[in-house]
Amino acid sequence: MASNADRPAAESAKVHMLFNGYVDTGVSPFSVASSIAFVRDGDVRVIIDPGMVPNPRSILDPLEQLGEAAAAVTDVVFSHHHPDHTLHAALFPNARFHDFWAIYKGDTWASRPAEGFELSPSIRLIQTPGHTPQDITTLVATVGGVTAFTHLWWTAQGPDVDPFATDMGAIREGRQRVLAVANLIVPGHGAPFTPGAETPR
């Protein structure tokens, strides 16, 4: 169920897309890249889903153009553990790493559920399983509204049914929850989009 509690308490974050993901199954081996974002809120610097891209500069160049250094990134969030969303995590040597059940840094493993965890007053994690049992969504509140970084959708166009879903019913529940709070959605493998009547539910 969606809840007003899902909305972050503050709206001071800034969102920057570093790379718009894609999937091309018309080539062999097929081509896939993750949608990757940088979020800044005060002293917090977050990278979301640093996965497969043509090369590491596809992530680092746009980050540096924002005046940010990889070494200054404080947190990395994995929406789930598929390699296409995690492959370039090592680019951020000083970050804490967040998934559905823990925070990792160096040799420390701090168990915690992602549900409701706040990286800052404007950045909140919620659990949205279905693509995998471990999926989470990052909700980021800015002055313009709430952006959801999630694999509940691959792209703005769908597909309606996730071809790799472990629980399509859970995906549909998660979509309703996210649509209740998000003004903008960044899907797993596509450009950000504003949800509307045609958005798969």
**Residue 1: its pLDDT value, please?**
38
Parse the chain into domains and list their residue ranges.
4-186
Q: Comparing C-alpha atoms, which of 46, 95, 86, 52 is closest to residue 66?
A: 46
Q: Comparing C-alpha atoms, which of 105, 199, 99, 104 is closest to residue 156?
A: 199
Residue 59 three-state SS? helix
CATH of domain 4-186: 3.60.15.10
Half-sphere exposure of 44 (CA within 13 A, CB side): 21
Question: Which residue type is seen at 46?
Answer: V
CA of 132: how far to CAs of 66, 142, 198, in Å?
Answer: 32, 28, 24
Residue 154 three-state SS? coil
Cα of 28 vs its chain's centroid, Å: 27
Q: Are 149 and 126 in contact (CB under 8 A)?
A: no
The residue ranking higher by pLDDT, 3 or 95, is: 95
Separation between Cα atoms, residue 38 and residue 31, nearest integer Å? 23
pTM, two decimals, is 0.95
Residue 90 token pair? 């090592």
Note the pLDDT tens digit of each residue in 49-93. Answer: 999 999 999 999 999 999 999 999 999 999 999 999 999 999 999
Residue 177 three-state SS? helix
Note the pLDDT tens digit of each residue in 122-163. Answer: 999 999 999 999 999 999 999 999 999 999 999 998 899 999
- Mean pLDDT confidence for 4-21: 95
In degrees, to the nearest 5, what angle opens at C-alpha 100 toward C-alphas 183 and 54?
Answer: 70
Q: Which long-range contacts (CB under 8 A, 24 or more apart) does 4-7 make?
A: 4/181, 5/116, 6/124, 6/126, 6/139, 6/177, 6/180, 6/181, 7/124, 7/139, 7/141, 7/146, 7/181
Burial of 12 (0-12, 13-18, 19+ CB in 10 A): middle
